[in-house]
Structure 1
């Protein structure tokens, strides 16, 4: 009989699974006898953890194998006497104590520039469920050595003791100073002059700021260092600057008299700015005249410059309204109890708080549309959430409960996947003149697609702000690449940008003074809901080519007929009728409750015998599947947009897709005819969806038509 297992194997290891063999977390290890008086169970004594395992792992060497920590029921039982089991049990919380196994995975943590070793942390995860799975029995968490005197100075990363009753603002001020001294121009805000007359200023002659020294609202064309506030309005009343009170707010001392009318988030932000030794604060509801449409339009048009020129952005990501404030700001407003385990006489382990991105990811603030560009365009952020604070800049992410402040730090685990600034490369701007060159396409378009996908997945209180909430991001593309946009789509790559698809439930954006849609159907701005673009890393995801049958490229300045507020896209192309069929050739199982569905496209008439020929597919919102669960009886209209390299992996099985000739596929748009155009022989249509079809399917459709998509 072999030695006992360090990890409970369930059905046993699979010898053919190379990944599991390489990680060897199910390996057999001799366990010492159980002895409750030693405060560690036999399994965790066998780990024999030391400081050296965390602080100096060779940079070029494979990580230590994953380690089985026991099943949830086992950990709960042994938590009565095992310090490590107790730490895990407390961290897991009140979850069903099923047979889920718990695994400790080593990951690289801090990397010092030029060093040959890296620090490590142990990430505690549930086994056999993907980390992205929402059904996780518990959220993964990280464990590192706790600050314990002399040993701590030998590693650039370890747990730090939290200030118990409130946020440690002396630490926050150190972060600001260290970033300024160590990172230099990388994190330094850009400077601008707001004098009128420059086209770059969009005609905005000044910026308004709260002057916390004179206690009033000021208008200045040459502001000194100032702080921005990013927060959630929610349902709480928000103090607003109006045409009727702006002159009063400009009077010195006026803010004192209005302070009690400000929501708590703004009052707390003012206190933080003062504690940091700063003087000026920008707050949207006060620095933009809220009942002056002209002022709102001008100020929103330069939001990118507001956040880029700020020395710091305060992100109030806790709570769901402007009255949520900052937890941990005042003495006694928080009670911290760090989850620790005395592993040995020289090693104390501590559970880290969620890293900054994890904490933000679950917040209401992170789900709002307006806050997306605010974080993306900021150079440095102080993020307040869950009664603690994080600092993020281009070079670092720091938190209260761990130490990673080192001018030599090249990367640390909490920095992964952060992106504060668009950081577009101006050197690529001259390529605009050669806008048909593929190097230009790859320079910015995949980035644009990803930003659109992230932004459209967020919630807007007023969906009519769909483009305004993204305007600052579009301005970055304008100034860096010289692009022009039409309802959020880059005109230079209109063929590509028209190919967005529903990523969630979709409905049309309507509002304004009429019941007509405010934005055109061909733009993602015309729809409520998340959208997606095909991945540029798709195995056949080369950019589309304008259809060779087009007599001219789409016209971006075609006016819609009377009754339609948006502009239309005019093009001369082919239009034909085809049927939709319940036929998904991707070979992928349909997830239950999926908010969209991929339909097949077939001939306009059902075949007299046999199966419908599959000519392509289109992705449509899930309501189409519910509405047409018994199939489609009438054909739909499609128009040709451009040539495509081939079918994507989500459209046709990979092997079948690879057998097709390159550029034997067309990008098509499913449309609905609306009304005749004032122009003779022009058809007015609305977009319903996009897809791809074989060129052969269109061989009998040769006549060109003038189409206006609205």
Structure 2
């Protein structure tokens, strides 16, 4: 469909106020030389040819010069767009320059494309190496105001927005367009993982706020409802309890002063938005869950939050720091951010467009684990951030400050097919987020666990895919981590801080290929203890024809059904757990998808190596931000460095740890592109290494993970003291 064939939904442009310009405004000589005019913001037919190199980058001046020239409207606009007073004058003793480059926006179906001015700061005018302190805004761009467009259509140009409030008439238009032109595909979350789409069938206690009768109600069958995604923060939040639920279910109860005066501002604003947009029902956790019913309705809802959000019609995303912050631009709340517009000349105004992530990435909302899952599952989002509102659905995206035909933005794409890389990227993002209660570490990820289980055919054992267990244990810290005592150390859920696993990048994202690789490169038969105080064990994953689940000897297959390989010069036939009792072992919070204690019991090779300051140089990866971790070397009996580890600073600083002799266990074969030192030799062995885990022993007969690294296969013989031994391990 071409642009001319698409039905147009015209939103009138606001008039430009006279207060935008000042009589003293005058372009400086440098900005005059840029020859800016409205027509320069339309891509010409010649410029639209593929072979065109675009327009060269241009120097606007140093930050110091731009700050001094307060009468130049373009320089003022540039400085405000980059962050105003937060833009540094110098970096490393060098003056900071502001550069502009031209970029285009638009699609082949449009009658035209537009040019945007993209801004960046640098200390080297000859390169695009950017200066980007955290205080500066990222990727701001400057575009022609829609009112001054030289074309009949204003599509893709920014428009003025109301200074006093969010335009909910515009939001209603977006919703109507989505319903009319996108239809059912936008009514269901692409990440849905339930057989039944109705939370009222899966959650017997499912309640909603009736914004017309102003009370809490049992959810009517097949009703459409909004959900609210927000941060409670450190403020009192009025809650539905066993003692007040009957009262709150009476019509008009939410208007009674004893209740209304206690309901946080953000929730009151969401109720009003729902009503103003013509919908009747809203789900908010604090009011729709009986908060002191820990083992009943609360447990039911928390375990299925993905169902609640994925079945809702739309989620209101309020990015304020707490529940009392309100929703920007709604119900007399200020927008919080002012639109940046400058008049360059008669009928020639430019607008600074600031991507929403400039405001989202600095918000408390974006750091919360629960809100990550909520955003992931909702079919439609209405996001209030940076003083504006945006709408997104499965087939489109619209911004309040952009003239855009929502239909034009409807570019249906086939649903993404998740793979192992997408799973580990989700883990990486989620593990960096914060929780008010560590005990929620599995609950706040439960929906994503269910989604990946359904799509990739695996269960998760404390966040680790059982079907790809060995390589899924090879996560490493991406930055500083703190031990989370409520979960096992071998899982990323047992640590607070970002974890990442790179094995899909060096092997494959395809589950079938990974499974085949594990058959050839692993040997451990993994068992999960049923309870920390019970010796009974279950095999972690038994959905294969391997004889590893039996006690017969010798075993014919490994954990994944592959042929047994004789890697080690010792008797490795013992793989079945012995009956052992743990003393003083902790109890971990329950897993969501698979029962068990969180203690693994298995046999593998144990070695002792010396840990000391590394002798090798470190080639830092651009992906590596582990600056708060300590790097140490692994040394064998000939004194040679065999590999390196990144360990927690607290562990590093304990007496006797570095230098010191410690126990390591072999996990599997893999390729290590991060910790292998430059001067390590492979002893003629291929690039596959042995992954080792440094463990810390506890008096009760169990160990915890400290860190993982790698050694060359031939370096097993470098083990100190009694050398390598086949040993039973209980890992918690």
TM-score w.r.t. the length of structure 2 is 0.77
Residues 617, 677 of structure 2: 8 Å contact kept = yes
Residues 398, 406 of structure 2: 8 Å contact kept = no
Q: Which residue of 2 aligns with 1:572?
A: 603
Identify if the C-alpha distance between structure 1 residues 663 and 85 changes in structure 2 by more than 3 Å, giving closer, same or farther: closer
SS in 2 for 1:104: strand
SS in 2 for 1:94: helix
Q: Deviation string for 1:372-417 (max 9, x for gaps)?
A: 1011111211112343222222333322222233422368xxx9xx
Q: Which residue of 1 aligns with 2:300?
A: 298
Residues 464, 509 of structure 1: 8 Å contact kept = no
Q: Which residue of 2 aligns with 1:227?
A: 226
Identify if the C-alpha distance between structure 1 residues 266 and 702 changes in structure 2 by more than 3 Å, giving closer, same or farther: same
Residues 384, 390 of structure 1: 8 Å contact kept = yes
SS in 1 for 2:606: strand
SS in 1 for 2:695: strand
Q: Which residue of 2 aligns with 1:101?
A: 97
Matches for 1:365-380 after TM superposition, within 5 Å = 365-380=365-380
Structure 1 residue 327, shift from structure 2 partner = 2.5
Q: Distance in 2 between matches of 1:401 and 1:195?
A: 37
SS in 1 for 2:359: helix
Identify if the C-alpha distance between structure 1 residues 376 and 540 changes in structure 2 by more than 3 Å, giving closer, same or farther: closer
Identify if the C-alpha distance between structure 1 residues 50 and 345 changes in structure 2 by more than 3 Å, giving closer, same or farther: same
Pick from 506, 520, 525: which aligns with 1:553? 525
Q: Does 1:493 align with 2:511?
A: no
Residues 500, 533 of structure 1: 8 Å contact kept = yes
Matches for 1:258-407 after TM superposition, within 5 Å = 258-294=259-295, 295-318=297-320, 320-331=321-332, 333-334=334-335, 338-352=339-353, 354-407=354-407
Q: Does 1:524 align with 2:515?
A: no
SS in 1 for 2:419: helix
SS in 2 for 1:213: coil
Q: Which structure 2 residue ranges, 5 or more long, are not aligned?
A: 1-22, 534-581, 588-596
Q: Distance in 2 between matches of 1:195 and 1:548?
A: 35
Identify if the C-alpha distance between structure 1 residues 241 and 331 changes in structure 2 by more than 3 Å, giving closer, same or farther: closer
Q: Distance in 2 between matches of 1:386 and 1:202?
A: 38
Identify if the C-alpha distance between structure 1 residues 117 and 186 changes in structure 2 by more than 3 Å, giving closer, same or farther: farther
Structure 1 residue 632, shift from structure 2 partner = 2.5
Q: Which residue of 2 aligns with 1:464?
A: 439
SS in 2 for 1:560: coil
Residues 58, 117 of structure 1: 8 Å contact kept = no
Structure 1 residue 191, shift from structure 2 partner = 11
Q: Does 1:668 align with 2:692?
A: yes
TM-score w.r.t. the length of structure 1 is 0.79
Structure 1 residue 281, shift from structure 2 partner = 0.4
Q: Which residue of 1 aligns with 2:27?
A: 40
Residues 580, 599 of structure 1: 8 Å contact kept = yes
Identify if the C-alpha distance between structure 1 residues 253 and 240 changes in structure 2 by more than 3 Å, giving closer, same or farther: same
Identify if the C-alpha distance between structure 1 residues 213 and 622 changes in structure 2 by more than 3 Å, giving closer, same or farther: same
Measured on the aligned residues, the alpha-carbon RMSD in Å equals 3.7
Structure 1 residue 204, shift from structure 2 partner = 2.9
Q: Does 1:58 align with 2:43?
A: no
Q: Deviation string for 1:127-176 (max 9, x for gaps)?
A: 14855843566654211001225636435211211112111111111122
SS in 2 for 1:459: coil
Structure 1 residue 51, shift from structure 2 partner = 3.3
Residues 585, 652 of structure 1: 8 Å contact kept = yes
Q: Which residue of 2 aligns with 1:151?
A: 150
Q: Distance in 2 between matches of 1:253 and 1:395?
A: 38
Residues 192, 222 of structure 1: 8 Å contact kept = no
Identify if the C-alpha distance between structure 1 residues 625 and 133 changes in structure 2 by more than 3 Å, giving closer, same or farther: farther
Q: Distance in 2 between matches of 1:317 and 1:305?
A: 22
Q: Deviation string for 1:329-353 (max 9, x for gaps)?
A: 134845875433333445321112x
SS in 2 for 1:267: helix
